[in-house]
Amino acid sequence: MAILTPLRERARHLKAETFALYLAARHTATPWYAKLMVAAIVAYALSPIDLIPDFVPILGYLDDLVLIPLGVTLAIKMIPPAVMSECRARAQEVIANGKPVNRVAGAVIVLIWLTLVVLLAIWTYEAFASNGSVPYSSAVESLMNERPTPGRHGRAEDRRRQQ
């Protein structure tokens, strides 16, 4: 268990740095390009959606162990040192008083997941429908390839109007 203690400490430090970066992104003295980088890193670090899902053996945690620390290091170098030290102090103060909760961000993440589930269900239904019907995308494609009839009422109606 002595091996896990330093890793847990590094994980806590990384979470504190991530929250400090979040605060730095909202600071007025932070350059726009640093804000953009911080937003991407914080969103990836705090989101339950990973580039490689965690249930994939070894690779699932590898992206968390490599991408996030590299992104945090790069973002910290983009932010002025005075701003970063002020944000670190504020982050330590907030963490000491209790973890911050953002219900709007949580709701957005839940909506993204629900949308993905609904789209997956629609795709699965279209791809594997057993009632012999043509999937929606194939039906639309076949309609797009048909030649349109001239006029609004059809050919016979158009011929009568031309006479």
| Digit-coded pLDDT (tens) for 46-102 | 777 776 776 777 777 777 778 878 888 898 899 999 999 999 999 888 888 876 666
Under a CB-based contact definition with an 8 Å cutoff, are residues 49 and 108 in contact?
Answer: no
What pLDDT does 99 receive? Answer: 65
What pLDDT does 103 receive? Answer: 75
| Encoded tokens for 76 | 């910290």
Query: What value does the mean pLDDT take over residues 9-35?
Result: 85
- Residue 115 CA from chain centroid, whole number: 12
Element (H, E) at 154: none
Question: Please, which pLDDT band fits residue 20 given cuts at 50, 70 and 90?
Answer: confident
Residue 27 clears pLDDT 80, i.e. is over it: yes
pLDDT: which is higher, 162 or 43: 43
Under a CB-based contact definition with an 8 Å cutoff, are residues 46 and 18 in contact?
Answer: yes
Query: What value does the mean pLDDT take over residues 141-157?
Result: 59
What pLDDT does 86 receive? Answer: 93
Residue 155 clears pLDDT 80, i.e. is over it: no
Q: Which residue has the tokens 């009632």?
A: 131
Residues with Cβ within 8 Å of residue 54, at least 6 apart in sequence: 60, 61, 64
Least confident window among 29-38, 62-71, 98-107, 108-117: 98-107
Summary mean pLDDT of the chain = 77
pLDDT: which is higher, 124 or 140: 124
Domain boundaries, the chain: 1-100, 103-163
d(C-alpha 63, C-alpha 55), whole Å: 12
pLDDT: which is higher, 71 or 153: 71
Residue 37 clears pLDDT 70, i.e. is over it: yes
d(C-alpha 11, C-alpha 28), whole Å: 28
What pLDDT does 40 receive? Answer: 83
d(C-alpha 145, C-alpha 127), whole Å: 21
Under a CB-based contact definition with an 8 Å cutoff, are residues 76 and 21 in contact?
Answer: yes
